[in-house]
Amino acid sequence: MSPFLELTKIAEITRQLPQAMQEKGFEIRILMPRFGNINERRNRLHEVIRLSGMNIIINDNDNPLIIKVASIPAARMQVYFLDNEEYFQRKHVFNDKDGKFYADNDERMIFFCKGALETVKKLGWAPDVIHCHGWMSALVPAYLKTTYKDDPTFKNSKVVYSIYENDFTEKMDADFSRKAVMGDMTEANTEAYKDGTNTAMYAGAIQYSDAIVLGSANIDADVLNNVKNSNKSVMEYVSTSDYENYYNFYEEITSEQLVDVA
């Protein structure tokens, strides 16, 4: 997210979209990983003690979750950063200094997705819409529709997932779909992710999301076909920075929820 880390087009969208929705009267919470090349001093990150102290279990290992926060004064927005010494305190984001895809990117992804949901629970804030961006958040829809489906914090939440260009050509660890299982889930719940590719991450997210946003003009053909066959509500790609279409999309999705309840 800009200005903390400007890696892809997502950084711009995740900076401008929340502000645009806040100006429309929405109450916003933003969560992202605290990657090691985010300058804590310059961006004035500080730990939120009341939210820190949880452990996220991955592959039977306890991984401490540290929550930090920074403000964007011009927008009156706070950003929550999920940190862990083993997973995020590195000089590079997804690839090492030689350009090699980190072998534990699967666990880093699982840690972020589980940690984000547990953080929102600890905030005591029940969102109407949860908007996930890119492959790093692709497990969030699966967790919300399985382990967290009856949780009071999330049971009425609609999940929107934004798809972008494929960011990696490598594969996740071969054991990824097993490690991603949590709570009362089974490996059948993570079957769509099993191939470990960027396209597979999107396939899983599409399966479990309520609605899809096409966030890029250049989306993989297989992914687009998957979106088409999903019969989910879809917001087509718009090249302009006018976020009125997002506002209307959110309103449409939440009003569908009221109809369903009625």
Q: Domains along the chain?
A: 9-261 (3.40.50.2000)
The percent of residues above 70 in pLDDT, for the chain, comes to: 94
pLDDT at 3: 67
pLDDT at 176: 94
Q: How confident is residue 259, by pLDDT bands cut at 50, 70 and 90?
A: very low
Mean pLDDT of all residues in the chain? 89
pLDDT at 255: 83
Distance (Å) of CA 36 to CA 57, 82, 253, 258, 259: 21, 11, 36, 42, 44
pLDDT at 16: 85
- Nearest Cα to Cα of residue 13 among 249, 260, 238: 238
- Does the global pTM surpass 0.95? no
pLDDT at 76: 82
The percent of residues above 90 in pLDDT, for the chain, comes to: 62
Q: How confident is residue 7, by pLDDT bands cut at 50, 70 and 90?
A: low
Q: CB 241: neighbour CB atoms within 10 A? A: 10
Distance (Å) of CA 243 to CA 12, 15, 24, 128, 250: 12, 12, 10, 18, 11
Which of 66-75, 155-164, 178-187 has the weakest average pLDDT? 66-75
Find residue 79's DSSP bridge partners: 30, 70
pLDDT at 260: 42
